[in-house]
Amino acid sequence: MNAPALLRAVVLSGTGGVWRARALDGTEYDVTLRGRLKQESRYSKLAVGDDVDIAEDPRVGAWSITGIHPRRTVLARRAPGGGRGERVVVANVDQVVIVFSIAKPEPHVRMIDRFLVIAEGNELPARLVVNKVDLADDPAAIDSLAADYERAGYPVHRTSVKQNAGLDALRAVLVNRVSALTGPSGVGKSSLINALYPGLTLRVGEISASVNKGRHTTVGAVLVPLPGGGYVVDTPGLREVGMWGLPSASLDHCFPEFRPMLGECRFQDCRHLTEPGCAVRALVDDGALSAARYESYAKLLAELSEAEKLY
Ligand SMILES: Nc1nc2c(ncn2[C@@H]2O[C@H](COP(=O)(O)OP(=O)(O)OP(=O)(O)O)[C@@H](O)[C@H]2O)c(=O)[nH]1
Ligand SMILES: [Mg+2]
Ligand SMILES: [Zn+2]
């Protein structure tokens, strides 16, 4: 018997047993792992976003996964205490897009910094979207908020769904990439997606609910194909990923603007809090590093150190 033809596909969602995979031509298939492959541990770790080969079993007319291609990246939830046993939430994410608004609700910088640390901890590039710029009383407020992040090397998009501003530039960076979109409730994530892709009827944040109207209950992240190429990942939130497992001693590396200073402190294991001769503190005191970013660092460090005591 001839070997069945393989199709290359991307895993969009899963129930734990049945997975939805999308072939390069856009056709979607319900696929399962069957028989021997299921026993192999690397297949039991299949995740949304995985790049797979699928084939039809002519005897039963059902599609199954026959192989997984190497992952480019993983957005993972690591075991507390930095132990083994990470769970991949999404594979092959190309970038994290953090959306917040200049008003209604007010930007919550501590939360933005937490999302950025999660991206850095997973070695994923991140960009920021400041939405609702039409609501800014003073346009300078947008620039001063953006400045901290731009100095740290993150691209910042200024958008307004209401005024149709900044949308083309945002669409251009989503094309042909897998983007994990996150941000607090009410900042306009669904509105942005609807404005960027009027043909896309599914609403980010409500996707999982809609998928669940079908036969299977979707668990975890869902990849939404974008018209024109690329995917947006709807996760129950990066909060689900958390910072768990990030060693407190590597938090400073997750603040890109600190990195040039990290070899310069007097003590090699400097935590950049009250140690004498701290190069990071010196720049914060000079105003060369953002005090708000530094404050986030100190808060997150306390949180991670506290968690480490428990393990
Ligand atoms: N003025 C203004 N309002 C906006 C803009 N974008 C979205 N909104 C409004 O903000 C509110 C919340 O928008 P959503 O798109 O539902 O926010 P979301 O981020 O998807 O929220 P969750 O689904 O709860 O996470 C809605 O009333 C939108 O009309 C904007 O650019 N300017
Ligand atoms: Mg929404
Ligand atoms: Zn230091």
What structural domains and CATH numbers belong to the chain? 7-68 (2.40.50.140), 74-241 (3.40.50.300), 248-309 (1.10.40.50)
Give residue 41's identity as a one-letter amino acid code. S
Segment 193-204 shows an average pLDDT of 76
Tell me the pLDDT tens digit for each residue of 85-130: 678 889 999 999 999 999 999 999 999 999 999 999 999 999 999 9
The verdict on the CB of residue 239 being under 6 Å from ligand 1 is no
Shortest CA distance to 207 belongs to which of 193, 186, 227? 193
Cα of 115 from ligand 3 centre, angstroms: 23
How much distance in Å is there from the Cα of 206 to the middle of ligand 2? Answer: 7
C-alpha to C-alpha distance for 257 and 192, rounded to whole angstroms = 29
Q: Counting beta carbons within 10 angstroms of the beta carbon of residue 260, is it exposed (0 to 12), middle (13 to 18) or buried (19 or more)?
A: exposed
- Whether 203 is in the pocket of ligand 1, judged by its Cβ within 6 Å, is no
Per-residue pLDDT tens over the stretch 8-36: 999 999 876 889 999 999 999 999 986 66
CA of 269 to the centre of ligand 1 (A): 44
Tell me the pLDDT band of 184, cut-offs 50, 70 and 90.
confident
Return d(Cα 78, Cα 282) in angstroms, integer: 33
Q: How far is CA 25 from the centre of its chain?
A: 26
Ligand index nearest the alpha carbon of residue 249: 3
Q: Dihedral sign for Cα 246, 251, 256, 259, please.
A: negative
